[in-house]
A and B are shown apart, each in its own frame.
Chain A
Amino acid sequence: MKKTFAYAALAATLLSGTAFAQEKTIKIGNLSDQSGLYADATGPGSTVAAKLAVEDSGLLAKGWKIEVIAGDHQNKADIGTNITRQWFDVEKVDLIVDTPNSGVALAVSQVTKEKNKVFLNSGAATSDLTGKACSPNTIHWTYDTFALANGTGKAVVKNGGDSWFFLTADYAFGHALERDTGAVVEANGGKIVGKVRHPINTSDFSSFLLQAQASKAKVIGLANAGGDTTNSIKQAAEFGITSGGQKLAALLLFLTDVHALGLNVAQGLTFTESFYWDMNDGTRAFSDRFSKQMKTGAKPTMVQAGVYSAVRHYLKAAEELGSVADGAKVVAKMKEMPTDDALFGKGSIRADGRKLHPVYLFEVKKPSESKGPWDYYKLMGTISVEDAWRPMDKGDCPLVAKK
């Protein structure tokens, strides 16, 4: 009898031991475009950023086991959903980060809610993630179509660009960006004279650009991203559109896009971002560490910086709670705590899942102003938290429904 009791006690200790260890385990999945048109701005660089965040959290020294894995959604919502389900059900992933491509992101957000895990999106743009598709398990971290439209759209219309033609990527992201920018343009007294929607990942834009040229609009709004944007800009220069007096508005432009274009072609473009590596000592120090780990030597884009910031904040909440088993609880905790890191400064997370920080209006430097590779942006203005984001009551998010 005594012996049995001793065994039982031993077993109980062992069991509680494993249970304890499990609670201090976190698995982070970077679900991204790892090789396609968005891969440079997001993808493998975001994995590096997530790993740096884990390093800096100090949790490893406190006995936590944290692992970062990566998956390639290939810009297809069905593949993204499959990986997500497999990660949650089989691999026991607790947190998914990055995920560019709004179509994929909306699908992943849905599954994350169903499985009560956490989705910290940095890469996708659609403002619907905190609007009609908002979720208690999702935080939209770095930027969104509303902030881009509001920043760039307003600035361009104020500078006299009052008639617009949209060149739009034909999926959720392009549609959202076109919608949000159109609203800003019209609210500021401009008008939309036409649009053309192109398939994602197009290499020749000349035909679409010719249609834009024929519209005689003062501004051609590029509601696309990544490789689509760089090809549009390059070919617009080739077809004499920019020298003919029409202005391009790149509504979403990443640092890696500017690098790919070269300053000769990209100079003078105005656009909106929430992070640039050369802002202050904190961003520069992080960016140095980051680019040492990149084979291409690239500096981080705002999406990659956002992944770092998001993972840092998640790990702070995890430490407070002592467990990440209940996804909605972790997100609630994250919303409760103010955010603070070297890259985005002090900020907060709104009830609808919108991370709040200032956004910036940048202009691409002339080749003569740049000191070398990656020295590309000039700060033109700062848009405060109050002005940058869509007011919470305008988003139709069911979580914060008007009573």
Chain B
Amino acid sequence: MFELIGISPQALFGQLLLGLINGAFYALLSLGLAVIFGMLNIVNFAHGALYMMGAFCAWFLLNYAGIGYWPALILAPIVIGIFGVIIERTMLNRLANLDHLYGLLLTFGVALIVQGIFQNYFGSSGLPYAIPDLLKGGQNLGFMYLPNYRAWVIVFSLAVCLATWFLIEKTKLGAYLRAATENPTLVRAFGINVPLMITLTYGFGVALAALAGVLAAPINQVRPLMGADFIIVVFAVVVIGGMGSIMGSIVTGFTLGLIEGLTKVFYPEASNTVVFVIMAIVLLIKPAGLFGRTA
């Protein structure tokens, strides 16, 4: 069978694993988007810029404060999460009762401004961020050489994704959140502080983006446009998975990473369009997305 498609099984396994690693980033980013859209009904176009800020935050911590990768993995999401909370409190919550489009425009504008500022001061080709010493080197798996850092990315992001899913779908706090989305007035009547919960949810979604940014920093250059290049694919992932579906975005993220990885082997020229082709097909067949509920 492998002879038929002109590629050795070893090479194929290698490419599948690489696809999964890229999928881990898609999953982590689209998860944040899904949480924000599902709970707040905001199409957060600033997600890419916040992801970039996460990476830059790690870079700042290292170069100005001497704080390494491991603390940055916790600190950067907190710092950027607070930035997200400020955006929500000062700007987004004023748009709560308006059409989705206003939130989209606002977050898109925020993204452009943030990216412009970073580009002005750091140029576009970016800054280097080294892989932490503990994860340098790699393992020879027989069919491929797997850098330790990439193995870490896949394990860690899978854990974060599942924890988030558990938090929202299986805990009491998650139940409050989902209830508040369905009927905020009623939930408030039970004495729950809904605006605070919404603000914190936005902050949490933003922190997820920043976390993905820190994870990506040692793999890609820390660049002002690193998120802008990524965010469109991630939106496609969310649409394919079904807007707002938590499990949908995780599964779709990993699956699309795989499909994209395979395209890079069989028809590399199409590797950055394949996701959108799939999106078009899914929208034609199942407009609510693979895991979405039709309203």
Contact = CB atoms under 8 A, between A and B. Distances in A.
Interface of A: 35-37, 39-41, 43, 170, 196-199, 201-204, 206-208, 210-211, 213-214, 226-227, 230-231, 234-235, 238-240, 244, 256-257, 259-262, 264-265, 295-296, 298
Contact of B144 (A198, A210, A230, A234): A210
Given A203-B229, A210-B18, A35 B124 contact: yes
A298 B19 CA distance: 36
Interface string B203-224: 0000000000000000111010
B132 interface: no
B128 A238 contact: no
B261 interface: yes
B138 interface: yes
A260 to B, nearest CB: 4
A296 B230 CA distance: 25
17 contacts: A35-B124, A37-B125, A201-B229, A203-B226, A204-B219, A206-B21, A210-B11, A214-B8, A234-B221, A238-B150, A238-B219, A239-B145, A256-B123, A259-B125, A260-B125, A264-B128, A295-B121
A39 B124 contact: yes
A199 B147 contact: no
B120 A295 contact: yes
A202 B226 CA distance: 10
A196 B123 contact: no
A299 to B, nearest CB: 12
Contacts of B271: 198-199, 202, 207
A203 B220 contact: yes
A162 to B, nearest CB: 24
A196 B125 contact: no
B13 to A, nearest CB: 11
B281 interface: no
Instruction: Give the 3 A-B residue pairs with the shortest CB-CB distance, closest first.
Output: A262-B128, A207-B264, A260-B125
B275 interface: no
Contacts of B149: 238
Contacts of A296: 121-123
B123 A298 contact: yes
A392 B125 CA distance: 35
B119 A35 contact: yes
B126 interface: yes
Contacts of A295: 120-121
B104 interface: no
A260 B261 CA distance: 26
A123 B21 CA distance: 35
B15 interface: yes
B268 A235 contact: no
B221 A227 contact: yes
Contacts of A41: 125
B273 to A, nearest CB: 8
B124 A203 contact: no
B138 to A, nearest CB: 6
Nearest to A198: B268
A230 B221 contact: yes
Contact of A206 (B8, B18, B119, B221): B18
A214 B19 CA distance: 17
Contact of A240 (B18, B131, B147): B147
Nearest to B137: A240
Given A210-B15, A256-B123, A235 B219 contact: yes
A204 B269 CA distance: 14
Contacts of B287: none
A196 B149 CA distance: 25
A170 B269 contact: yes
Interface in B127-159: 127-128, 130-131, 138, 144-145, 147, 149-150
Contacts of B124: 35-37, 39-40, 43, 227
B128 A197 contact: no
Nearest to A201: B229
A238 B125 contact: no
B272 interface: yes
Nearest to B216: A203
Contacts of A39: 119, 123-125
A260 B122 CA distance: 10
A134 B145 CA distance: 46
Contacts of B131: 238
Given A35-B225, A238-B149, A202 B127 contact: no
Given A227-B126, A230-B126, A238 B147 contact: yes
B252 interface: no
A270 to B, nearest CB: 20
Contacts of A238: 131, 138, 147, 149-150, 219
Contacts of B265: 207, 211
A209 to B, nearest CB: 9
A227 B128 CA distance: 12
B30 interface: no
A296 B265 CA distance: 38
A260 B127 contact: yes
A207 B130 contact: no
B121 A231 contact: no
A202 B221 CA distance: 12
Contacts of A262: 128, 130
B123 A207 contact: no
